[in-house]
Amino acid sequence: MCPDKVITPQRGAGLPIALFIVTVLSLLVLGMSQLQEGSGQSVSLQIQSQRAFFAAESGAQSAVRKALDGGCPAVLSASPLNFSADGLAGCSASLACDAVTADIGGPGGDTVYSIVSTGICGNAPYRTMREIEVRVR
Protein backbone atom coordinates (compact mmCIF):
# COMPACT_ATOMS: atom_id res chain seq x y z
CA MET A 1 0.00 0.00 0.00
CA CYS A 2 2.89 2.33 -0.42
CA PRO A 3 2.88 4.65 -3.37
CA ASP A 4 5.39 4.04 -6.05
CA LYS A 5 6.40 7.67 -6.30
CA VAL A 6 7.81 9.78 -3.55
CA ILE A 7 5.69 12.84 -2.87
CA THR A 8 7.76 15.99 -3.20
CA PRO A 9 6.72 19.22 -1.53
CA GLN A 10 4.95 21.57 -3.89
CA ARG A 11 6.29 25.00 -4.50
CA GLY A 12 3.70 27.54 -5.59
CA ALA A 13 2.58 31.10 -5.16
CA GLY A 14 -1.08 30.39 -4.35
CA LEU A 15 -1.09 31.57 -0.73
CA PRO A 16 0.77 34.88 -1.31
CA ILE A 17 -1.43 35.65 -4.33
CA ALA A 18 -4.60 34.88 -2.35
CA LEU A 19 -3.46 37.14 0.53
CA PHE A 20 -2.64 39.92 -1.93
CA ILE A 21 -6.08 39.69 -3.58
CA VAL A 22 -7.87 39.66 -0.20
CA THR A 23 -5.87 42.72 0.94
CA VAL A 24 -6.56 44.67 -2.26
CA LEU A 25 -10.26 43.85 -2.16
CA SER A 26 -10.57 44.87 1.50
CA LEU A 27 -8.83 48.20 0.78
CA LEU A 28 -11.17 48.75 -2.16
CA VAL A 29 -14.24 48.09 0.00
CA LEU A 30 -12.91 50.40 2.71
CA GLY A 31 -12.33 53.20 0.19
CA MET A 32 -15.79 52.81 -1.30
CA SER A 33 -17.43 52.93 2.14
CA GLN A 34 -15.60 56.14 3.00
CA LEU A 35 -16.63 57.64 -0.32
CA GLN A 36 -20.25 56.68 0.33
CA GLU A 37 -20.14 58.21 3.81
CA GLY A 38 -18.73 61.49 2.46
CA SER A 39 -21.36 61.58 -0.25
CA GLY A 40 -24.12 61.02 2.29
CA GLN A 41 -22.85 63.87 4.46
CA SER A 42 -22.70 66.14 1.42
CA VAL A 43 -26.31 65.40 0.51
CA SER A 44 -27.40 65.96 4.11
CA LEU A 45 -25.66 69.34 4.19
CA GLN A 46 -27.24 70.31 0.87
CA ILE A 47 -30.71 69.51 2.24
CA GLN A 48 -29.99 71.57 5.37
CA SER A 49 -28.86 74.45 3.15
CA GLN A 50 -32.11 74.31 1.15
CA ARG A 51 -34.12 74.30 4.39
CA ALA A 52 -32.18 77.36 5.61
CA PHE A 53 -32.92 79.12 2.30
CA PHE A 54 -36.63 78.41 2.61
CA ALA A 55 -36.60 79.60 6.24
CA ALA A 56 -34.95 82.87 5.12
CA GLU A 57 -37.47 83.21 2.30
CA SER A 58 -40.41 82.64 4.66
CA GLY A 59 -38.97 85.17 7.10
CA ALA A 60 -38.57 87.73 4.31
CA GLN A 61 -42.16 87.26 3.13
CA SER A 62 -43.46 87.70 6.67
CA ALA A 63 -41.25 90.77 7.17
CA VAL A 64 -42.47 92.41 3.94
CA ARG A 65 -46.06 92.14 5.12
CA LYS A 66 -45.18 93.51 8.58
CA ALA A 67 -43.10 96.37 7.08
CA LEU A 68 -45.93 97.47 4.81
CA ASP A 69 -48.42 97.32 7.70
CA GLY A 70 -46.37 98.83 10.53
CA GLY A 71 -42.88 99.76 9.37
CA CYS A 72 -39.56 98.55 10.71
CA PRO A 73 -40.61 98.42 14.37
CA ALA A 74 -43.22 95.78 13.48
CA VAL A 75 -40.57 93.73 11.65
CA LEU A 76 -38.04 93.92 14.46
CA SER A 77 -40.62 92.96 17.11
CA ALA A 78 -41.31 89.70 15.22
CA SER A 79 -37.65 88.62 15.11
CA PRO A 80 -36.61 85.80 15.43
CA LEU A 81 -39.22 83.62 13.79
CA ASN A 82 -39.15 79.98 14.92
CA PHE A 83 -40.78 77.53 12.54
CA SER A 84 -42.63 74.39 13.62
CA ALA A 85 -44.05 73.17 10.29
CA ASP A 86 -42.87 69.77 9.08
CA GLY A 87 -40.46 71.04 6.42
CA LEU A 88 -38.91 73.79 8.54
CA ALA A 89 -39.02 72.24 12.02
CA GLY A 90 -35.93 73.28 13.94
CA CYS A 91 -35.27 76.28 11.68
CA SER A 92 -35.48 79.97 12.49
CA ALA A 93 -35.25 83.29 10.69
CA SER A 94 -33.69 86.44 12.13
CA LEU A 95 -34.93 89.70 10.65
CA ALA A 96 -33.31 93.11 10.27
CA CYS A 97 -34.96 96.18 8.80
CA ASP A 98 -33.80 99.60 7.66
CA ALA A 99 -36.10 102.36 6.35
CA VAL A 100 -35.04 105.15 4.00
CA THR A 101 -37.34 108.02 3.08
CA ALA A 102 -36.75 109.77 -0.24
CA ASP A 103 -38.74 111.75 -2.77
CA ILE A 104 -39.38 108.90 -5.19
CA GLY A 105 -42.77 109.88 -6.56
CA GLY A 106 -45.26 107.51 -8.09
CA PRO A 107 -47.42 104.94 -6.34
CA GLY A 108 -46.22 103.04 -3.31
CA GLY A 109 -45.07 105.88 -1.05
CA ASP A 110 -41.70 107.45 -0.39
CA THR A 111 -40.33 105.00 2.20
CA VAL A 112 -38.13 102.13 1.06
CA TYR A 113 -37.64 99.25 3.49
CA SER A 114 -34.51 97.12 3.25
CA ILE A 115 -35.17 93.80 4.95
CA VAL A 116 -32.52 91.17 5.62
CA SER A 117 -33.74 87.72 6.58
CA THR A 118 -31.24 85.14 7.82
CA GLY A 119 -32.45 81.54 7.87
CA ILE A 120 -30.67 79.11 10.19
CA CYS A 121 -31.22 75.33 10.31
CA GLY A 122 -29.59 72.45 12.12
CA ASN A 123 -27.10 72.07 14.92
CA ALA A 124 -23.32 72.03 14.90
CA PRO A 125 -21.47 70.69 12.95
CA TYR A 126 -24.26 70.60 10.33
CA ARG A 127 -25.62 74.09 10.95
CA THR A 128 -26.40 76.02 7.79
CA MET A 129 -27.26 79.66 7.29
CA ARG A 130 -28.66 81.49 4.27
CA GLU A 131 -29.37 85.20 3.93
CA ILE A 132 -31.88 87.01 1.72
CA GLU A 133 -32.16 90.77 1.25
CA VAL A 134 -35.41 92.34 0.02
CA ARG A 135 -36.29 95.96 -0.71
CA VAL A 136 -39.92 97.06 -0.80
CA ARG A 137 -41.83 100.32 -0.78
Full residue range of the structural domain in which residue 81 is found: 17-136
Closest-CA residue to 102 (of 131, 135, 65): 135
Residue type, 9: P
Q: What is the pLDDT of residue 132?
A: 92
pTM for the model: 0.68
Residue 103 in domain: yes
- CA dist 55 and 117 (Å) reads 9
The answer to whether residue 9 sits within a structural domain is: no
59 lies in some domain:
yes
Residues 83-114: tens digit of each pLDDT: 887 888 888 999 988 888 877 766 666 788 89
Q: How many domains does the chain have?
A: 1
Q: 102: burial class by Cβ within 10 Å (0-12, 13-18, 19+)? A: exposed
Nearest to 134 by CA among 71, 82, 73, 59: 59
pLDDT in tens, 24-64: 999 999 888 888 877 777 888 888 889 899 999 998 998 88
pLDDT higher than threshold 60 for residue 78: yes
Residue 114 belongs to some domain of the structure: yes
